[in-house]
Chain A
Amino acid sequence: MASSHISVRKTDNLIRIDFIDRNILDELNIHQIGEEILKVVESEFRPKVVIVFKNVEHMSSAAFGTLMKVNERVKARDGQLRLCQITPRIHEAFVMTKLNRIFSISDTYETAVASFV
């Protein structure tokens, strides 16, 4: 089995997901990453999910698509998704694609957690 690309920490329904890879570009990797995240999300009702981009230096349209699927699934479980610690260059890509209007983006993990309602 392929090794995991994410690390997951759960406290009740609060789920913190960190990427292990710096490049979440590759379509094969991003497919596996998406499956891993969805599996975690679907184990909780009303999950409060924070995805931390601290280690991520590159992105792709495939990665954006996967994040959108995760967002949909989180919402379907009556949950909330937050993204945080996104580098300025990757944040610029979110703005360029206007996906900053779809996702809630916070500077830090703490502010992301504080923003849950």
Chain B
Amino acid sequence: MANSVKAFRCEHTLRDLREGLEHVHQEAEAALAAHGFDDGAKFAIRLAIEEAVVNAFRHGNRSDPKKSVHFRAYIDDTRASFEVEDEGPGFDPATIPDPTEDENLEIPSGRGVMLIKAYMTEVEYVPPGNLLRMTYRKPA
């Protein structure tokens, strides 16, 4: 099917977690609606953006107010792709304990990365780990 709406692209430098999140959520939700993503997809993508941006500010930048988070989005009728890049040293996602293992189940933190992987179709942490690429593809 030919695209009826022009693909959405944006790039932002976020300096404040709350303001930044509000802005990118509003933009993404409008673009997702314009490109026909259903409520389930919008729920998944909102959650993934939230977790990615919060992790970038809190863990990547260690809440350093001098550091920013770089957010890029591309949304068309078939997919929604995002890049979230912090200015920290990066990390190895393989070192994060699986929060669904019995011994980790009662630990209150550490579910953000797991939720991103569960809700998005493709997730990649680009070495050294301060750049997250994630894509949600509409089911065929």
Please give the residue numbers on chain A whose beta carbons come within 8 Å of chain B beta carbons, in ascending order: 25-28, 57-62, 64-66, 68-69, 89, 93, 96-99, 101-102
21 CB < 8 A contacts A-B = A25-B46, A25-B47, A27-B17, A28-B18, A58-B46, A60-B51, A60-B54, A61-B51, A61-B110, A61-B111, A61-B112, A61-B115, A62-B54, A65-B109, A66-B108, A89-B39, A89-B43, A93-B47, A97-B99, A97-B111, A99-B105
3 closest cross-chain pairs (CB), A and B: A65-B108, A61-B111, A68-B108
Chain A CB within 10 Å — which of B58, B105, B111, B114 has the most?
B111
Q: Which residues of A contact B114 (CB under 8 A)?
A: 96-97
Closest to A27 in B: B54
Further 13 A-B residue pairs, CB within 8 A, beyond A26-B21, A60-B112, A64-B111: A25-B47, A57-B43, A59-B47, A60-B47, A61-B51, A61-B110, A66-B108, A68-B106, A89-B39, A89-B40, A96-B118, A97-B111, A102-B106
Chain B residues with Cβ below 8 Å from A61 are 51, 109-112, 115
Q: Which of B64-94 contact A (CB under 8 A)?
A: none
**Secondary structure type dominating chain A contacts:** helix
Are A102 and B105 within 8 A (Cβ)? yes
> In the complex the two chains form, what is the Cα distance from A66 to B106 in whole Å?
12
Looking at the assembled complex, report how far the CB atom of A60 sits from the nearest CB atom of chain B, in whole angstroms: 5
A98 touches B100 (CB 8 A): yes
Give, as a whole number of angstroms, the nearest-CB distance from A68 to chain B: 4
Secondary structure call for the B interface? helix
Selected from B40, B43, B108, the residue in CB contact (under 8 A) with A69 is B108
Contacts of B111 on A, CB cut-off 8 Å? 61, 64-65, 97
Chain B contact residues, CB within 8 Å of chain A: 17-18, 21, 39-40, 43, 46-47, 50-51, 54, 58, 99-100, 105-106, 108-112, 114-115, 118
Q: Which residue of B lies closest to A26 (CB)?
A: B18
By beta carbon, the residue of chain B nearest A62 is B54
User: Which residues of the partner chain B approach A27 to less than 8 Å between Cβ atoms?
Assistant: 17, 54, 58
Q: How far is the CB of A8 from chain B (nearest CB, A)?
A: 22
Q: Return the contact of B115 from the options A26, A66, A97 (Cβ within 8 A).
A: A97
Q: Which of B47, B100, B108, B110 contacts A58 (CB 8 A)?
A: B47
Taken together as a complex, chains A and B put the C-alpha atoms of A66 and B99 apart, in Å, by 15
Chain B residues near A57: list those with CB within 8 A: 43
Contact B40 A101 (CB under 8 A): no
